[in-house]
Amino acid sequence: MSILPLDYLHERAAFDRGARFVVGLDEVGRGPWAGPVVACAALLIGPAPAGLNDSKKLTAKRREALVPFLLACCDVGFGEATVAEIDALNIRQATHLAMRRAVEALPTLPDHLLIDGNDCPAWVACPFDLIIGGDGLSPSIAAASVLAKTRRDQGMVALAQQHPGYGWDSNAGYGTKAHQDGLAKHGVTQHHRRSFAPIRKMLCS
């Protein structure tokens, strides 16, 4: 499948409105039953690499190959919300927390945010655009998407080595059959989101 190059329409529009530091913001890991939610904020300081796109449209091999090029052409901040924070806050608020941490980790704070989706966190104080499907439209958001996805996947592979019975190295904590089978055999770990209905149901049964 050929991948069409992303344009800089949203970035240029922000620059035309006077912005200097336009940052793409995306997260990964809202839906899994285990593991943290991870966000990335990406500020392009050079041309985006060829083949960049929404992380979901790229193979794991292609995403991993893009990472060194993205780190060379972006200033990057990462943020994470832990399983404990997800359970305490709810997944939406925990996601917003991870996104705030990602922005605060940037070496230069943004004066305009391009945020994937339609949900702006309450802490955002600068001008912003909410872009549904933004990871397939904006190079800045696509860069954040790929970097967040690879970072979280690597973390889940590491957790899979500690807890090998759940298939986290391949399912990233989503509720696949292998994960469900692991839960039935090994039970709930400290890395499971106890506020999520399937895990809560297991604990209450």
Are 21 and 140 in contact, with CB atoms under 8 Å apart?
no
The strand pairing partners of 24, in sequence order, are: 42, 114
**CA dist., res. 108 & res. 66, Å (int):** 23
Q: Which of 14, 111, 192 has its CA nearest to residue 180?
A: 192
Helices (H), the chain: 9-16, 60-73, 83-89, 91-104, 139-162, 168-171, 177-186, 197-204
116 is in an annotated binding site: yes
Q: Which of 59, 61, 79 has its CA nearest to residue 144?
A: 79
Terminal Cα-to-Cα distance of the chain (whole angstroms):
46
The strand pairing partners of 128, in sequence order, are: 113
**CA dist., res. 122 & res. 125, Å (int):** 8
Are 10 and 128 in contact, with CB atoms under 8 Å apart?
no
Binding residues: 26-27, 116
Residues that constitute the known binding site for a divalent metal cation: 26-27, 116
